[in-house]
A and B are shown apart, each in its own frame.
Chain A
Amino acid sequence: MSYQSMEEAYARCEKEGIEFWKAVQLEDAEERDIKLDDSWKQMKGMWQAMLDSIDTYDPALMSRSGLVGKEGGIMEEYLAKGDTLCGDFMAKVMANALKMGCNNACMKRIVAAPTAGACGVLPAVLVTFYREYDVPEEKMVEAMYVAAGVGQIIAARAYLAGASGGCQAEVGSGSGMAAAAICHVKGGSKEQLGHACAMALKNLMGLVCDPVGGLVEVPCVKRNVGGAVNAMAAADMALAGIVSQIPVDQVIDAMKEVGDRMDVSLKETGVGGVAGSLRAQEVVKKIF
């Protein structure tokens, strides 16, 4: 049975003297009765699919509604001028998050991580880092296991669908997974990656799912940027030695409680939040 808590995964790491990612891989191989090597190949395939998807981005394409599509290209042009507020690397993270979000809205092939709406967060953090710095690919595949393991525990204790728990469950979870993953790449301990995840989740707790017209376009594409930047900040805090005073498992439980209390108009129904704004209603009239 897969891990039901980060504590349970930590306990195995300590008992067997292994890293967090390895505990996730071992559990996957045992649960599905496959060889470790086959599990690795499959994960490497997911990593490759992420790399491929970013490269299929076409700034000339627009979604069917015409609301999104070109944002990745606009950001890239801007960062090429070398005068961004957030710095070159963070601007690249933002551009990649936009590209993936636009790819999804334009019905291109993407990797759900953990969902399609949040598909930009993890590659924005991991792929950008991989291409910017000299990191062995093995390290990135390990980081994918970290992200998947964390996501699995969130799925077991809470949920990953906007319709069930709001955007905190989608971009929030993606951000928590990405924070933990990049923390591992930077040499963080299992406790540090747990803190990174907890801080990322807390920062986005309560985030509602309010897509205009019910389409995964506005505000979803840009929220991937928010999730990616938040993940980087949470990972940096954890690597600095800052801890989450609330244990990560309890943060996940709190997210579940918040999601349960969230009104249905704020859970992917296209009714509340910015979906209910005057402008959104005008846009919807035009589209449908």
Chain B
Amino acid sequence: MASIFDILGPVMVGPSSSHTAGAVRIGLIGRQLFGKQPKKAVVYLHGSFAATGKGHGTDKALIAGLLGMKPDDLRIPDSFEIAKEMGMDFLIEPKELRDAHPNTARIMMEAEDGKTLELQAYSIGGGRIRVSMLDGMEVNFSGETNTLIVRNQDQPGCITDVSTVLNLCGINIATMQVFRAKRGGSAVMVVETDQVVPKSAIEMLEGRQGIMKVTFLNVSEKE
């Protein structure tokens, strides 16, 4: 849901809310979902991002976001040099992505310990974005509110487990979406919450039968 401060705002470094500020947000949400600065990032730019990204600083903005910068950070134009200093390797390439929105980026992140995350997101203007794919699974969320992402086996009880744990922690579910690749296969739950999901709840979920990976996007967290 667009807050009025997504309409008036963000206060940002130019020149484009969709191609600069939105791109910073995509990188930043990637980093927040990953939980740390990646050691290596491969970025694909699609559509208008590929065609006009360079002139808008889309490439620099995505890298700035991966480094934890916000859209009003005056260091955005220098993000490539800063990435070098901070030890993050990156590769940026134009790539035609199937059925993707014109302002789409796909980011593949890798950590030193081998942990990976692949995220695809698109910029819808005014600095707002939507995440459309996570580790190859179709999803749809804005990253504007706290979001819990659970990768699980498509089997009975997983949704109950998640709602029970959240209930125990006094967390209200704002929205909930479930997606699956095929019956009995890999599935994903995207749960937007009104409160922050504590680490203990995430650990509890990770131990449950059928749950493979739990990620939490904490938007109240100060970098």
Contact = CB atoms under 8 A, between A and B. Distances in A.
Interface residues of A, number: 62
B7 A148 contact: yes
A149 interface: yes
A62 to B, nearest CB: 13
A105 B15 contact: yes
Interface string B83-121: 000000000000000000011000000000000000000
13 contacts: A1-B1, A2-B4, A105-B14, A112-B11, A113-B8, A115-B18, A116-B15, A155-B6, A159-B125, A161-B125, A215-B55, A269-B52, A271-B51
Interface in B1-22: 1-18, 20-21
A206 interface: no
Contacts, number: 171
Interface centre among A108, A117, A268, A269 (most CB of B within 10 A): A268
Given A2-B1, A163-B125, A155 B15 contact: no
Interface of A: 1-2, 24, 28, 31-33, 42-43, 46, 49, 63, 65, 103-117, 119, 122, 144-145, 147-149, 151-152, 155-156, 159-164, 169-170, 177, 211, 213-217, 264, 267-271, 287-288
Contacts of B12: 109-112, 116
A112 B20 CA distance: 11
A155 B126 contact: yes
Contact of B3 (A31, A63, A106): A31
B52 A112 contact: no
A233 B10 CA distance: 27
Nearest to A115: B17
B56 A215 contact: yes
Contact of B20 (A116, A122, A264): A116
Given A42-B5, A114-B125, A151-B8, 10 more contacts: A31-B1, A109-B74, A110-B12, A112-B126, A114-B8, A117-B16, A162-B125, A163-B123, A216-B16, A268-B48
Nearest to B127: A112
Interface in B26-82: 47-48, 51-57, 72, 74, 76-77
Given A112-B21, A160-B125, A269-B52, A151 B7 contact: yes
